[in-house]
Amino acid sequence: MSKRNVSRRQFLNYTLTGVGGFMAAGMLMPMVRFAVDPVLAGGSESDFVATKQKIKDLSTEPTRVDFSFTQVDGWYESEVTNTAWVYKTKDGKIVALSPICKHLGCTVDWGGDKEHPEQFFCPCHYGRYTKDGMNVKGTPPISPLDVFTTKEKDGILYLGQRKPHGEA
Q: How many Å apart are CA 76 and CA 37, to the nearest integer?
A: 18
Residue 153 beta carbon to ligand FES: minimum distance, rounded to whole angstroms: 33
Q: Can you tell me whether residue 143 is helix, strand or coil?
A: coil
Q: Does 97 bind ligand FES (CB under 6 A)?
A: no
Binding segment toward ligand FES, per CB under 6 A, in 4-12, 21-29, 34-42, 117-125: 117-125
Q: Does 133 bind ligand FES (CB under 6 A)?
A: no
- Helical (H) or strand (E) element with 63: strand 63-73
Using the rule CB under 6 A, which residue among 50, 55, 94, 106 binds ligand FES?
A: 106
Backbone CA torsion sign across 102, 103, 109, 115 = negative
Q: Does 141 bind ligand FES (CB under 6 A)?
A: yes
Q: Does 144 bind ligand FES (CB under 6 A)?
A: no
Q: Residues 6 or more apart from 121 whose CB is under 8 A from it?
A: 108, 109, 110, 111, 112, 113, 127, 128
Q: How many Å apart are CA 167 and CA 123, to the nearest integer?
A: 27
Q: Does 160 bind ligand FES (CB under 6 A)?
A: no
Using the rule CB under 6 A, which residue among 49, 65, 96, 101 binds ligand FES?
A: 101
Chain residues binding ligand FES by CB under 6 A are 101, 103-106, 122, 124-125, 127, 140-141
